[in-house]
Amino acid sequence: MQTQKVWFITGASRGFGLEIARAALAAGDQVVATVRSQPAQLATTLHNHPDLYVVQMDVTQENQVQVAVEQGIAHFGRVDILVNNAGYGIVTAIEEATDAEVRKLYDTNVFGVLNVTRAVLPYLRQQKSGRIINISSLFSYDAVPGWGLYGSTKFAVEGLSKGLAIELAPLGIHITAVAPGLFTTDFLSTESYVAAKTIIPDYETTVGPMRSGADALHGHQPGDPKKLAQMILQLANTDRPPLHLPVGKDAIAMYRSNAAKMAQEIEAWLPVAISTDHDHRIATATIA
């Protein structure tokens, strides 16, 4: 019986990716860790662990992704757990962001997830087993001024996870969208998020505090990334993993707040919302 698992982790140079790689290696598993640059630096950081294989790969480049996945599987013989972690944030009012800024964000946070998932799935389908863990965000549960565009990419990740879960369940492949709250990674450092170049004064009352607040919050977030990595390890080894998993008290609070607001809105507008069917079809359905 196979107990040692093979992980494929994107964005492993720092933050969640690095901590998950470190935890998986400590647990006795094998890790394919991908980075956009300086693979030797990551290997050194992880003490050139014999169960580590570092591959240079940009998730936005589909050809690079295909080659990296092939290299990883050739090295360890299989893949069991894919962690789609690579991504970055942008602080901006939605109107302020240029087409180029939005497309670059989606290329990494959404199309990058698709590129890697498409490259790994043929192997998971062949072995009729596997896990895909997509790193989402508490911003996928509700909108926050200045983070709406970033949040929209994570809404997409949640939706993709839901679709994949339904399609892959008969093949023995499980999907989980993990939505962390604020953790003391470098996500709020200038290396992990950008600010749009355009600033429109009308948005300063809503978005302005977010532009300055991100730097002030950096290093003071409540979540411990090492504990999240251990939770991911537990998730990867459970027989019935959840499809959606908010992580952290702030993520749970945002999920519950948004769910309550949506339920209240729907109930308030329920007579209008159910009034749009053809009258004769309503009558037929009532008689039946």
104-114 as b/e: b if 16+ CB within 10 A: bbbbbbbbbbb
Overall average pLDDT of the 43-51 stretch: 97
Structure tokens of 59?
A: 């998730």
pLDDT of residue 184: 74
134-149, pLDDT tens digit by residue?
999 999 999 999 999 9
Is 152 a catalytic site residue?
no
Q: What is the DSSP letter of 38?
A: -
Task: Tell me the per-residue pLDDT of 184-221, one tens digit each, with 9 for 90 and over.
Answer: 766 555 555 788 899 999 999 999 988 876 655 555 57
Tell me the residue type at 13. Answer: S
Q: Is 58 exposed, middle or buried (0-12, 13-18, 19+ CB in 10 A)?
A: buried
Q: How far apart are CA 153 and CA 179, in angstroms?
A: 12
Query: pLDDT for 108-131, tens place per residue?
Result: 999 999 999 999 999 999 999 999
Instruction: Answer whether residue 287 is part of any domain.
Output: no
Q: Does some domain include residue 168?
A: yes
CB 228, CB 19: distance < 8 Å: yes
For residue 273, pLDDT over 50 is answered with yes
CATH number at residue 89: 3.40.50.720
137 annotated active-site: no
Residue 285 inside a domain? The answer is no
List all residues 6 or more positions away from 255 whose beta carbon is below 8 Å from its beta carbon.
Answer: 138, 141, 179, 246
Catalytic residue (choose from 141, 150, 193, 203): 150
Count of the separate structural domains present in the chain: 1
Confidence label for 93 from pLDDT (cuts 50, 70 and 90): very high
Report whether 180 contacts 222 (CB < 8 A).
Answer: no
Write the CB contacts of 231 (distance below 8 Å, at least 6 apart in sequence): 247
Q: Which residue has the tokens 């079809």?
A: 281
In a domain, 278, yes or no: no
- At 165-179, the pLDDT tens digits run 999 999 999 999 999
- 100-109 pLDDT, tens digit per residue, is 999 999 999 9
Q: Which residue among the candidates 5, 53, 123, 136 is catalytic per the annotation?
A: 136
- Distance between CA atoms of residues 55 and 12, nearest Å: 10
Judge whether 26 lies within some domain: yes
- Work out the mean pLDDT of the chain and round it to a whole number: 92
Question: Which residues pair with residue 84 across a beta bridge?
Answer: 134
- Look at residue 17 and tell me if it is in a domain: yes
Residue 1 is predicted with a pLDDT of 42
From 53, 141, 154, 193, the catalytic residue:
154
Does 197 qualify as catalytic in the annotation? no
Report whether pLDDT(286) > 60.
no
Asked if 233 contacts 80 with a C-beta cutoff of 8 angstroms, the reply is no
Q: Give percent of the chain with pLDDT exceeding 70.
A: 91
Q: Does residue 201 fall inside a structural domain?
A: yes
Tell me which of 217 and 32 has the higher pLDDT.
32
Q: Does residue 258 fall inside a structural domain? A: no
Q: Domain limits at 65?
A: 6-250
Higher pLDDT, 257 or 211: 257
Q: Is residue 2 over pLDDT 60?
A: no
